[in-house]
Amino acid sequence: MEKAYKFRIYPNPFQKELMAKTSGCTRFVYNQILALRMDEYKTKSKSFSGYDCIKMLPDLKKQYPWLTEVDSTALQSAVQNVDTAYKNFFRDRKKFSFPKFKSKRKAKKSFKSKMNISVKEDLVKLPKLGWIKAKMTKGIQGRILSATVSLAGSGKYYVSLCCTDVDIGQLESTGAAIGIDLGIKDFATTSGGVKYANPKWLNKSEKKLIRCQRRVSRKTKDSRNREKARLKLARQHEKVSNQRKDFLHKLSNFLVRNYDVICIEDLDIKGMLKNYHLSKAIANCSFGEFVRQLSYKAEWYGKQLIKVGRFFACSQKCCVCGFRNLAVKDLKIREWTCPNCGRHHDRDINAAKNILNEGLRLLSSAA
């Protein structure tokens, strides 16, 4: 099994300069290969393969000698990224768009190395860069496949080590199952009646963000004061992102450790974001990231994540008798009484129970 470890690194001035050159060279190679593939298709109605593009690198290095200053595996990774983007587009055009050229200003400053990577204590060794100080928050298991170095908008450097043959210890079986209903007011409501409040980290920091953004806009473009103000804004955004990720990781870890079967609704998040009034609140919740974390953690620890269809009327059905109350479509109705059996329901708890029942039904039918 593969697992990634992300750590913050502290490069010296020479290493920072070489990292900037490497990310710039990978962006340049990406754009050059993409242009060649597009020209080949326009003239001959066919495109180069990924292997053909890899063989173009020696000629590019002869044409542009400064490409030899950086790690060669990082350039190869850039070529492979172009090929992957092409394959994704032609495999599913509805989900993936055609590859675009990377902008010098807007493109993410990162690169991926694949050889001569090692770790010891609080140091990480990367090709051409040598040993770099790192804040190792946990031990690394398995064999290192690649290392992705990235520069965040806040000016911090990170390295993500992808390792294979990682032995992830299995958790004890609890035999318990749970249904989860995701929402905006309460982030998650379980079938057991437990509600996890939505922290709304963005709302709590919104005044600071507005103030920082105002300071950036008032500074002269390309000035040092503007760069200082931009860094403060980026660090505030990073703080909100870290708070959100910390909450999601803690909640997903708790659920995976305590339940063997987790049933959750398969939300159409892209469609939900089209709601003009709720799009900001929905985006702030990060439902997609939460489901992603549950998915890979359940796979790691041998648990089961059951996704209930998005068209299943979990909020409208009575979890006791199955009667469907169409009046509950109105989101303002938070509590209702079943006209058929007379059972009083909390909207979210009733939905979580219905999700659990439907998930268990799907699990038994698939067995």
**Helix 72-91 and helix 13-44: axis angle, to 10°?**
40
Q: What is the pLDDT of residue 242?
A: 94
Q: Does 70 have pLDDT greater than 80?
A: yes
**Catalytic residue list contains 186:** no
Residue 218: per-residue pLDDT: 96
Phi, psi of 225, rounded to the nearest 5 degrees: -65, -35
The residues, any chain, with a CB within 8 Å of residue 250's CB and separated by 6 or more, are: none
Phi-psi region of 116 (alpha: psi -120 to 50; beta: other; left: phi over 0): left
Query: What pLDDT shows up at residue 277?
Result: 87
Q: What is the mean pLDDT of the chain?
A: 91
Give me the DSSP letters along 293-304.
HHHHHHHHTT-E
CA angle 56, 62, 66 (to 5 degrees): 110
State the catalytic residue, choosing from 83, 181, 260, 358: 181
- Residues 339-352 have a mean pLDDT of 89
Q: Please give the full DSSP string across 60-127, using - where no structure is assigned.
A: HHHHSGGGGGS-HHHHHHHHHHHHHHHHHHHH-TTT-PPP-PPPTTTS--EEEE-SS-EEETTEEEET
H or E element, residue 335: strand 335-337
Nearest C-alpha neighbor of 189 from the set 251, 249, 269 = 251
Q: Buried b vs exposed e over 145-173: b needs ≥16 C-beta within 10 Å? A: ebbbbbbbebeebbbebbbeebeeeeeee
Span 156-176, average pLDDT:
90
Statement: residue 110 has pLDDT above 70:
yes
Is residue 132 within 8 A of residue 15, CB to CB? The reply is yes
pTM of this prediction exceeds 0.75: yes
- Per-residue pLDDT band for 367 (boundaries 50, 70, 90) equals low
Q: Is 299 a catalytic residue?
A: no
Joined tokens for residue 171: 């958790």
Per residue in 282-310, pLDDT tens? 999 999 999 999 999 999 999 999 999 88
Q: Mean pLDDT, to the nearest integer, of 315-336?
A: 86
Nearest to 347 by CA among 177, 178, 176, 193: 193
Report pLDDT for 323: 87
Spacing of C-alpha 122 from chain mean position:
26
Mean pLDDT of 27-51: 89
Phi, psi of 203 (to 5 degrees): -65, -35
pLDDT of 51 over the 90 cut = no
Quick: pLDDT tens for 79-93.
Answer: 999 999 988 998 888
Residue 49: what pLDDT? 85
Q: Which residue has the higher pLDDT, 16 or 331?
A: 16
φ, ψ at 75 (rounded to 5°): -70, -40
The CB density around residue 323, as the number of other CB atoms within 10 Å, is 13
User: Can you tell me the mean pLDDT for 252-263?
Assistant: 94
Backbone dihedral angles phi then psi of residue 154, each to the nearest 5 degrees? -80, 0
Residue 14 confidence (pLDDT): 95
Based on the number of CB atoms within 10 Å of its own CB, is 46 exposed (0-12), middle (13-18) or buried (19 or more)? exposed
Alpha helices in 278-346 (DSSP H): 279-285, 287-300
Average pLDDT over residues 235-261: 95
Domain boundaries, the chain: 3-164, 177-199+251-366
* pLDDT for position 117: 93
Please confirm, yes or no, whether 348 is among the known catalytic residues: yes
Catalytic: which of 265, 266, 335, 358? 265
